[in-house]
Structure 1
Amino acid sequence: MATNSTTKKDKWIIGSLLFLSFVPSLAGLIRIFQLITGSGYTVENQRFFNDPIPVLFHIVSVLIYSTLGVFQFAPGFRNKYPKWHRVSGRILVFFGLTSAITGIWLTLAYPKVPTVGDWLFGIRLVVGFWMLFCLAVGFGFALRRKFQFHSHWMIRGYAIGMGAGTQVFTHLPWFVIVGGEPSGVPRDLMMGAGWFLNFLFAEWIIRRKGK
């Protein structure tokens, strides 16, 4: 019974996280295709074509980080393959840190586009440095074999890293009610809401695990 319960939980976790990462992963692959082929050039995305290195590093690191992380948080899979968990966990930390660093790099290096408000710059910096902090602290606890705290901080880091998936849902009310692409402060708030909801969900998971 316990094994069946664990299997169902694993399937739910893996399925949910893969679903959450599907749209941003697809968008990232499309962006890579555009940059390689030179297609889809617009005023909105010209900064990526002018300087493609930061965004390419960011997309690749996010794709690997989100995919590996899916299996890190499935308890049955993790317990069945502890060596895989340790090895892939180190890879996960590397690409998670790369994702956060390149996210900060994108924020600082690329010019502001017309659809972005005044708040998103600061929000992205806070999110990027918070993710860096979570992963560094989580890895430090793993080295000291304090695995409960390690798990907590890795949950926080992964939740923030998956913010783009949640942003799909925070934008839905605008698309349904208003229509068209949001811009300015409304867009900033919807972007920020994706990260904030993931932050709250991570804290809820951590407190639930502690009971």
Structure 2
Amino acid sequence: MVTNTKKDFWIIGSLLFLSLVPSIAGVIRFLQIMKGDVYTVENQRFFNDPIPVIIHIIAVVFFSILGAFQFAPGFRKKHIVWHRMSGRFLVCLGLTSALSGLWLTLVYPRVPTDGDWLFGIRLVVGIWMTLCIIAGFFFVLKKKISLHSHWMIRGYAIGMGAGTQVFTHLPWFILVGGDPSGIPRDLMMGAGWFINFLFAEWIIRKDRK
């Protein structure tokens, strides 16, 4: 039997590891915007209208890191007051992340590497994440803690899609090289969110048994 301490270690460690690459990439992007350097055709939209992407980066980084400590059962029981207080911030950060992501999708010009499918996928993902977090908040107000946990797991899993996308892109980088574009990029991006969606549902079904 795995002890709560070991289980917490693996849950928190795995989620922090998954958030590492997108967090580092977000910080680098943030610094580039602040300095105004590394200006390219692909990131031109960020420099032309930096506020939405800065808000998105900050929300995603803190959402992914803070959320890593919310789903470890032993840590949660030991620090229940912290869990409740940080959970309020997590809801705000998650909604900010999802809604700013939708804004970036709808308002920013599309980059050349994005295919036609990715626009629709991002809309579905952003709307689903928003609904999951709202549902999670609604159920905690109703004191339905199990349902609250399940919907927050779903919302967090979708929010962590960028971490999984590192691995869905890895075979392309190894076998083909260079940055993918068009349908291959759309499929690899979508696969990251879909894998997290399936994993979240597996965790939820396991918890119900």
TM-score, with structure 2 as normaliser: 0.99
What is the Cα deviation at residue 39 of structure 1? 1.2
RMSD: 0.9
What is the Cα deviation at residue 188 of structure 1? 0.6
The 5 A counterparts of 1:154-169 are 154-169=152-167
Return the alpha-carbon distance in structure 2 between the equivalents of residues 62 and 156 of structure 1: 15
Question: What is the match of residue 103 of structure 1?
Answer: 101
Question: What is the match of residue 13 of structure 2?
Answer: 15
Q: Match for 2:70 among 69, 72, 75? A: 72
CA deviations 1:139-166 (Å, max 9, x no partner) are 0000000000000000000000000000
SS for the counterpart of 1:114 is: coil
User: Post-superposition, which runs of at least 4 consecutive aligned residues in structure 1 deviate over 2 A?
Assistant: none
What is the Cα deviation at residue 75 of structure 1? 0.7
Counterpart residue identity of residue 86, structure 1: R
1:61 and 2:59 are equivalent in the alignment: yes
CA deviations 1:104-128 (Å, max 9, x no partner) are 0000110011111000000000000
Return the alpha-carbon distance in structure 1 between the equivalents of residues 82 and 113 of structure 2: 43
Question: What is the match of residue 52 of structure 1?
Answer: 50
Q: Match for 2:174 among 172, 176, 179? A: 176
Question: Structure 2: which 5+ residue stretches go unaligned?
Answer: none
What is the Cα deviation at residue 98 of structure 1? 0.3
The 5 A counterparts of 1:1-211 are 5-211=3-209
What is the Cα deviation at residue 40 of structure 1? 1.0
SS for the counterpart of 2:116 is: coil
The percentage of aligned residue pairs carrying the same residue is 72
Return the alpha-carbon distance in structure 2 between the equivalents of residues 97 and 55 of structure 1: 14
Counterpart residue identity of residue 209, structure 1: D
Return the alpha-carbon distance in structure 1 between the equivalents of residues 65 and 17 of structure 2: 11
Return the alpha-carbon distance in structure 1 between the equivalents of residues 33 and 15 of structure 2: 27
Return the alpha-carbon distance in structure 1 between the equivalents of residues 42 and 22 of structure 2: 18
Return the alpha-carbon distance in structure 2 between the equivalents of residues 86 and 100 of structure 1: 21
Return the alpha-carbon distance in structure 2 between the equivalents of residues 19 and 86 of structure 1: 24
Return the alpha-carbon distance in structure 1 between the equivalents of residues 96 and 112 of structure 2: 27
Return the alpha-carbon distance in structure 2 between the equivalents of residues 104 and 75 of structure 1: 32
What is the Cα deviation at residue 205 of structure 1? 0.3
SS for the counterpart of 1:119 is: helix
Question: Structure 1: which 5+ residue stretches go unaligned?
Answer: none
